[in-house]
A and B are shown apart, each in its own frame.
Chain A
Amino acid sequence: MRLHHITWKNIKMHPAKVALLVAGLAVGVAVIVGLYTVSKAMHMDLQDKIDEYGANMVITPKSESLPLTYAGVTVGGLQYGSQLLTEKDLEKIRTIKNSANVKLVSPKLLGIVEVNGSKMMLAGVRFKDELELKKWWEIKQGSRPANDREILLGGKASRKLGAGAGDSLNISGEKFRVAGVLGQVGTEEDDLIFIGIKQAQTILERPGEVSFVEVSAWCKDCPIDDIVEQIKWKLPGAKVAAVRQAAETRDAVIGQFSLFSLILSVTMGVVAALIVFTNTLSAVRERRREIGVFRAVGYRQSHIALIVLLESATVGLIAGVSGYLAGFLAAGYIAPVATGMDVGVVFDPIVPAVAIGGVVLISLLASLYPATVAARLDPSEALNSMI
């Protein structure tokens, strides 16, 4: 038998009392773990959404513009000094310091072509990257282009041209097959003809040229501003802009929720400490006789303090484990309802370690004074209480 056996036996002797204390602490741990897990799930969901939004950076050629107005009448504008983007620039993007964060680099070449007697805008793209980037695209008819002689039509372009999946189109003298038609998304994309970028460069007679580049970066804690700066440094002739306003707004809401969670967690921590403190102090007072016996048979003050602290730590440990499990499981059910978001909780080993370690630490700190009181109990007082 060792000191911890005495601790454990005492805990087992008072199951209802210990269960009440454990329940009090476990509820606190469960709330903290639940809030943190939901908050984290929301963050992760936001990052997924950011990825789904598509590009979070757009690279365009840098140009100076001159508005032409006189007496309040605008007669048009003039852009000059524009430097061309080329496919060689795309390689440079992959050489930035944070290149590991760069998920997709999707170049586009835009131009006007004549198709079946109508002027249409042509967008040369890399279909593999583009379809990966534009998760909201839905091919309503047909399928993805299987080769460089196949194209996709925006919803409006399909109607305008009277062409659907399987039809052939003659674009500037070259024949292409419509592999699929995109569902309308309410943007300019509905009016476009999407074609392989190499074919677009040939048709538009702009070999190697790129109109703009959309870049998607992994944004779970990625430094988007740093990436923008790094690309600007690599491409001095380009303008690089981050597209993230919507995400930032939502991030701010989640930030508020996280702050609320933090404040509540600190409050719960203080309440937990008070619960342990009062409970342990009262237990020490109730156990004066018992402590007197320990002291009489030769237990040192440090032994008594250790017995009290071990009990608190054990209660904290049980509360930590049960509270974490309850909080984590509850978060899985509550998170989608409470946030109105389709969020899924993910196990993170650091959370149980911090939650359990934290509640054990709080229990120990809150028990320091009661343990000192117990240890300093005058053995003769304890003896008198026995007589």
Chain B
Amino acid sequence: MSLVIANRVCKYYGNDEATRVHALWHVDFTISPGEYIAVMGPSGSGKSTLLAILGAMNPPSEGSLLVDGIDVYALSQEKRADFRREYLGFVFQQPQLIPYLTSLENVMLPLVVSDVKDKKGLAAQMLEKVGLGDKAKRLPSELSGGEQSRVAIARAIVNDPPMLLADEPVGSLDSKTGSEILNLFQALHADGQTIIMVTHNPDSIRDTGRLIRLKDGVIVSDAATEEVLFAASDVVGTGEPKHSLAHD
């Protein structure tokens, strides 16, 4: 059974058909539980719009989105907030930690409005999982960029969400730290976590199992990452993925 079913999802801005700007156009796809998917495309291709729609934050102009059988945009605003809390974890390009809360409190953030009992214990466990058990009392300003990203990941998974949405999670990190974060994603995926990662960095997709490529709001390819990488490398016979992948 599919975890996500996107059915002819369109997003456009403007009421006048002649001048309407299409961000997404009849996007169809399904996501099975445990998949690790990369969404790539050049700027303006609709990656962020797609992520916002998947994140129950931006209703599509047309089409529907079912997650675990729930028609997400048939829900009221408040129910959609509950849905985000129960089904989704977000990792943004910037860690977006709350500056006045400690690492532990930042991780606890989604639990504050949930019924979970041992919120502190669970948050501490997540911090341990991302390797920051000893930095629970640090404020974000006292952490490195990589550590902040780890806290953001811990916050995203603390509710044990069926789906983790990541928007350029290593975009603002140096390559070494970025690699560590990708390893963390891979570890989460190995534990069965469904991950959808928007990126324009080909290096980020190395561990993903599936690559959806967008251009001008349309899915131009949806295939296993390995296949795409192999095809790209085969053109020049190097076996290495090409950076042109991000800009085609």
Beta-carbon contacts of A296-311 to B below 8 Å, as 1s and 0s? 1111111100000000
Interface presence of B58 (CB below 8 A) = yes
Interface presence of B237 (CB below 8 A) = no
Which B residues lie within 8 Å of A9 (CB)?
100-101, 105
Majority SS at the chain A contact face:
helix
The answer on a CB contact under 8 Å between A10 and B100 is yes
Q: Residues of A within 8 Å of B, CB-based: how many? A: 30
Smallest Cβ distance from A383 to chain B, in angstroms?
6
**Within the assembled complex, what's the spacing in Å between the Cα atoms of A303 and B55?**
19
Interface presence of A266 (CB below 8 A) = no
The answer on a CB contact under 8 Å between A301 and B93 is no
Number of A-B residue pairs, CB cutoff 8 Å, is 88
Which B residues lie within 8 Å of A380 (CB)?
52, 57-58
Which B residues lie within 8 Å of A383 (CB)?
48, 52, 55, 57-58, 92
Beta-carbon contacts of A367-381 to B below 8 Å, as 1s and 0s? 000000000001110
**Within the assembled complex, what's the spacing in Å between the Cα atoms of A290 and B106?**
12
The answer on a CB contact under 8 Å between A293 and B78 is no
Smallest Cβ distance from A387 to chain B, in angstroms?
6
Q: Residues of B within 8 Å of A, CB-based: how many? A: 37
The answer on a CB contact under 8 Å between B113 and A300 is yes
Which B residues lie within 8 Å of A386 (CB)?
92-94, 96
The answer on a CB contact under 8 Å between A3 and B113 is yes
Smallest Cβ distance from B142 to chain A, in angstroms?
14
Q: With A3-B113, A9-B101, A13-B100 as given contacts, are A297 and B90 in contact (CB-CB < 8 Å)?
A: yes
Beta-carbon contacts of A1-45 to B below 8 Å, as 1s and 0s? 111011001101100000000000000000000000000000000
Closest to A8 in B: B100
Question: Chain A: residues with CB nearer than 8 A to chain B?
Answer: 1-3, 5-6, 9-10, 12-13, 289-290, 292-303, 378-380, 383-384, 386-387
Question: Chain B: residues with CB nearer than 8 A to chain A?
Answer: 48, 52, 55, 57-58, 77-78, 81-86, 88, 90, 92-94, 96, 98-101, 105, 108-114, 119-120, 155, 159, 167-168
Q: Across chains A and B, which 3 residue pairs bring their CB atoms closest together, nearest first?
A: A298-B85, A13-B100, A380-B58
